[in-house]
Structure 1
Amino acid sequence: MLFERLQKPTHFALLIGLPALWLPASLLADPASAKPARESDIRMAELAEDESVEDIEQSVPLQAAPPDNDAVESTLTSPTAEPEPEPEPKVRPGEVFTLLDSDVMPGDSTRLAWAPGIQIAGLSQPTPVLVVNGVNAGPTLCLTGAVHGDELNGIEIIRQTVYDLNPGKLSGRVVGIPIVNLPGFQQGSRYLPDRRDLNRHFPGSLEGSLADRIAYSLFEQVIRHCDMLVDIHTGSLKRTNLPQLRADMNNPEVAEFTRGFDRMAVVHSTGSPGMLRTAAVAAGIRTVTLEAGESHRIQQHQISAAVNSLTSLMERQGMISRMFVWGDPEPVYYDSDWIRANHGGILFSEIELGARVSKGEVLGYVSDPITNAQHPIRSTSDGRVIGMAVDQVVMAGFAAYHIGTEAEIPGE
């Protein structure tokens, strides 16, 4: 195999074939030292992808689930009946996994190459695709990072997750694409060379723009081969996010999928047309977006939280087995609201990401560097800071703080 499982936390760099390009070395999370999850760590709010305020305003509200009449009738007619025990799942041997015209044998790990075919043929630079095919049969999980080229945390999240897998103990397959937007990554840019946002062009088209063609190639050659997808992002526009999932909780399969992520906020968002998540769900692939931290940075605390949740997801899906159990805490549902600056100036925050705040509490100040006027920004409700702008120059109307407030659980 081309890469081996890391047996213990160690410094490791992934050479992905770019000239003089190495990913940052980081320590892998040690499962034995993990603490039990607290119910307060599981949160869900309503916002949208990539910190776009327009997406938040356009997101379809969370719908109340209809009552399960069959379940109610069953309970009324046989209140003392005990459920029959579920049969033990049978372990089936893994199969050859064919991806990108290559066969990956069961119990093997390898690195493939995806080429969207948009560059000059003689100068073409393929994008690395990491594949771990388990010795046992199971679902196929896909992890995508750096769809926006300046979002670095996802690259390291995928590296740590994939390289810590042992194909000899894995059921199913994991496909990791650490850097989807390779041209943007090389330029330190969120966008493609045609200045388009790749995450607004899925599932793409064969004869469209550059972004359409890249999206189509990725979707047809890789994404359609997966059963589950986690698309990893960070905050944009100089904003940072508490580690959280973005998911269409109106979709029952997606809502159930989110229960596998341990110690992770779960945030309702129907998504916008052209997003990878939206296109994948429409294609029948259970998909969420994982947001963690801010762009242009490697943030180990955010990375560790995401790696832990992905490990929890794989355990929930029967792909791996961990030696410890943290239980199955239920999420607490949130509505959310962006609080905007009413004046232009320099933003100075008084609170930190994840802090619990009270209505009327000062979150930060906008200071006018010319007149020395100080304009406080106050919380409009009790809740938790699930997203915020980093200190910077802002204009009136800039969305500065995203506050999640506890709400009624849908369907109850």
Structure 2
Amino acid sequence: MLFERLQKPSHRTLLIALVIPWLSAPLFAETDSKEAGKKSEVLIAELAEDESVEDVEHSAPLQRDGQKEKAPKPKTSRGGAGVDTPSSASRKVAPNIDLKEVAPPPEAQTSAPPETDADAAESEVMATEALAEPEPQPEIREGKVFTLLDNDVMPGTSTRLAWTPGIQIAGLSQTTPVLVVNGINAGPTLCLTGAIHGDELNGIEIIRQTMYDLNPEKLSGTVVGVPIVNLPGFQQGSRYLPDRRDLNRHFPGSPDGSLADRIAHSLFENVIRKCDMLVDIHTGSLKRTNLPQLRADMNNPDVAEFTRGFDRMAVVHSTGSAGMLRTAAVEAGIRTVTLEAGESHRIQQHQISAGVNSLTSLMERQGMISRMFVWGDPEPVYYDSDWIRADHGGILFSEIELGANVSEGEILGYVSDPITNAQHPIRSTSDGRVIGMAVDQVVMAGFAAYHIGTEAEVPGE
């Protein structure tokens, strides 16, 4: 698919494009739309928050109608320059590119040779001609110009931009790619973020497949994708930033705080505040895996309604913790959920397909795309959960699989002592479903091995 270039770049335009080769693989084919299937009722529930396992946070109880008035959304601006960007006077039109095409590697920039008298005369002639024949301005069609990172992305175009938090050595700084598809028609703005923890790979591929399958000529609204937020952590294969901080505990950040605070602040002000909706994609922490699920604050009516757009995704009620991107974005009036899928350090196609399917259903539900989409059976909401821990050290051998329904007292696995040959069973403490679990590995006493979720009951029954 080739897109028509709306404006011919001048020789002074700087193209910013950081190329990641595997971000440019073939895309899924697009089909015509027809909404089908039954959309599920979301059951209100509550569940303990456990993103890092080691530090379990409990959600606030569910707020019933009349208990708490809905807080007014703070007014946010989606236009203008961000904190780390130049003033709006220097904005430029982003180049229209086909995201499906493999981009060339960025060329090294070299300083220009000293200008001679002949060069100066030629430059003066060119300047005179430029004044006499101004370049044609791009046509603005039915959609809206989307301004991000000091670039104007025209309706019906897609582009690659670059975000930098400005925290590295200036001569060695690297930019983080930001993909933008701005639809031909007006609509909401959806933001997708991945790899806030640098070792969580499934979200990167979920965003790549979703973004590269979009046709701006058939899109209503705008989709912004940041596949790798924590670029230093990704390059080191680490969950954390170089200062050993967890970036997802520092939002919305501050401009003069720690390294994590500054990165969080730059991303939040320059990208996140420009969006109406946000899906922050994660996986289980080290050597743990999560069933594809949404973490959402079901006390917030807008967020609860937002979860209805995700096909075949279990919903886990969690108010979130201070410093999480999800928490900060909801407080800023942006409908936000966390999408958990799989385990870290791995690319898992089954989990990726589940994520792409749910994002496609979300965009279809929001009226951003029009496709033939068949909804699956509704998934439950889990209002309570419990991490079952090993009581002995040894090697963990699981007897059940992720997503299995279990009964109270059922054996989930064994911890085997390789020296004494003792076998210690781990049993479920309740009826429910395995929504997260550790992979087989060496464990010590107290290790969180199985996450059991309990299904919500219909209110009033």
TM-score by length of 2: 0.75
Identical-residue share of aligned pairs (%): 83
The one-letter code sitting in structure 2 at the alignment partner of 1:395 is M
1: CA distance between counterparts of 2:377 and 2:187?
A: 22
Q: Match for residue 212 of structure 2?
A: 163
Partner residue in 1 for 2:62: 62
* TM superposition shift of 1:360: 1.1
- Residue in 2 that maps onto 1:11: none
Question: In structure 1, how many angstroms separate the alpha carbons of the residues matched to 2:145 and 2:215?
Answer: 17
Q: Is the 8 A contact 1:242 1:386 kept in 2?
A: yes
CA contact (8 A) 2:41 2:308 kept: no
From 395, 419, 422, the equivalent of 1:346 is 395
Shift of the alpha carbon at 1:248?
0.6
| Contact map agreement 2:29 2:213 (CA 8 A) in 1 | no
Aligned residue in 2 for 1:186: 235
Residue type at the aligned position of 2:59: S
| Paired letter, 1:54 | D
> Taking structure 1 as reference, are residues 51 and 387 closer, same or farther at Cα in structure 2, changes over 3 Å only?
farther
Separation of aligned partners in 2, 1:400 and 1:30: 41
Q: In structure 2, give the amino acid aligned to 1:234.
A: T
Cα deviation digits, residues 11-52 of structure 1 (max 9, x gap): xxxxx736x8635958748879xx968979999762325243
Give how far 1:288 is off.
0.4
Paired AA for residue 268 in structure 1: H
Return the match for 2:167 from 95, 118, 125. 118
| 2:74 aligned residue | none
Q: Taking structure 1 as reference, are residues 357 and 41 closer, same or farther at Cα in structure 2, changes over 3 Å only? A: farther
Structure with the greater alpha carbon radius of gyration: 2
- Report the secondary structure of 1:62's partner residue: coil
Does 22-31 or 173-182 show the bigger shift?
22-31
Are 1:405 and 2:454 matched, yes or no?
yes
Q: 1:177 aligns with which of 215, 226, 230?
A: 226
> Any stretches of 5+ residues in structure 1 without a counterpart?
5-15, 68-91
Deviation track 1:342-367 (CA, whole Å, cap 9, x = no partner) reads: 11111110111001111111100001
Counterpart CA distance in 1 for 2:169 and 2:332 is: 31
Kindly report which structure 2 residues correspond to 1:216-295, keeping only aligned pairs within 5 A, or say none: 216-295=265-344
Deviation at 1:115, TM superposition (A): 0.7
SS of the residue 1:396 aligns to = coil
**Cα separation, partners in 2 of 1:297 and 1:27, compared to 1, 3 Å:** farther
**Once the 2 structures are TM-superposed, how far is the Cα of residue 326 of structure 1 from its aligned partner?**
2.3
Question: 2:210 is paired with a residue of what secondary structure?
Answer: helix
Matched, 1:391 2:405: no
Within the alignment, does 1:141 sit opposite 2:190 as a pair? yes
Counterpart code for 2:336: T
Q: State the secondary structure of the residue aligned to 1:60.
A: coil
Check whether the contact 1:48–1:271 (CA below 8 A) recurs between aligned residues: yes
Name 2:79's counterpart in structure 1.
Answer: none
Cα offset for 1:406?
Answer: 1.9
Alignment correspondent of 1:87: none
Matched residue type, 1:97: F
Note if 1:47 corresponds to 2:48.
yes
What whole-Å deviation, never above 9, does each CA across 1:382-408 have from its counterpart, x for those lacking one? 211100011111111111101112232
Distance 1:2 1:393, change over 3 A: farther
Instruction: Evaluate the alpha carbon distance shift between residue 49 and residue 103 of structure 1 in structure 2; reply closer, same or farther with a 3 A threshold.
Output: farther
Question: What is the distance in 2 between the residues matched to 1:43 and 1:408?
Answer: 9
Inter-partner Cα distance in structure 2 for 1:25 and 1:43: 39
How do 1:290-301 and structure 2 match up within 5 A? 290-301=339-350
Q: Which residue of 1 aligns with 2:22?
A: 22
3-state SS in 2 of match to 1:397: coil
Distance 1:30 1:99, change over 3 A: closer
Q: Deviations over 1:174-216 (max 9, x none)?
A: 0000000000000000000011000000000000011000000
Q: Could you tell me which residue of structure 2 aligns to residue 335 of structure 1? A: 384
Which range is displaced more, 351-360 or 143-152?
Answer: 351-360
Preserved CA contact (<8 Å) 1:42 1:263: no
What is the DSSP-based 3-state SS (H/G/I as helix, E as strand, rest coil) of the residue aligned with 2:361?
helix
3-state secondary structure, aligned to 1:111: strand
State the superposition RMSD in angstroms: 2.9
Cα separation, partners in 2 of 1:27 and 1:388, compared to 1, 3 Å: farther
**Whole-Å separation in 2 of the counterparts to 1:298 and 1:41:** 30
Of residues 318-327 and 245-254 in structure 1, the stretch that sits farther from structure 2 once superposed is 318-327
Partners of 2:262 and 2:42 in 1: CA distance: 40
> Is the 8 Å Cα contact of residues 361 and 373 (structure 2) preserved in structure 1?
no
1:366 aligns to 2:367 (yes or no): no
Question: Is contact 2:380-2:456 (8 Å) kept?
Answer: no
Tell me if the contact between 2:197 and 2:246 (Cα under 8 Å) persists in the aligned partners. Answer: yes
Query: 2:12 corresponds to which residue?
Result: none
CA distance in structure 2 between the aligned counterparts of 1:50 and 1:31, rounded to whole angstroms: 36
Q: 1:248 to 1:323 in 2, by over 3 A?
A: same
**Partners in 2 of 1:250 and 1:38 — Cα distance?**
21
Deviates most, 328-337 or 351-360: 328-337
> Which residue is 1:89 aligned to?
none
> Given the alignment, which residue of 353, 357, 366 partners 1:304?
353
For the residues of structure 2 that align with 1:29 and 1:41, how far apart are their CA atoms? Answer: 30
Preserved CA contact (<8 Å) 2:45 2:316:
yes
Q: TM-score, normalised by structure 1?
A: 0.84
- Distance in 2 (CA, whole Å) between partners of 1:37 and 1:150 is 36
Q: How many residues align?
A: 374
Compared CA separation, residues 118 and 94, structure 1 to 2 (3 A) = same
After superposition, the C-alpha distances for 1:298-342 in whole angstroms (9 at most, x for unaligned) are 000000001000010111111111123427947444421111111
How far, CA to CA, are the matches of 2:460 and 2:202 in structure 1? Answer: 35
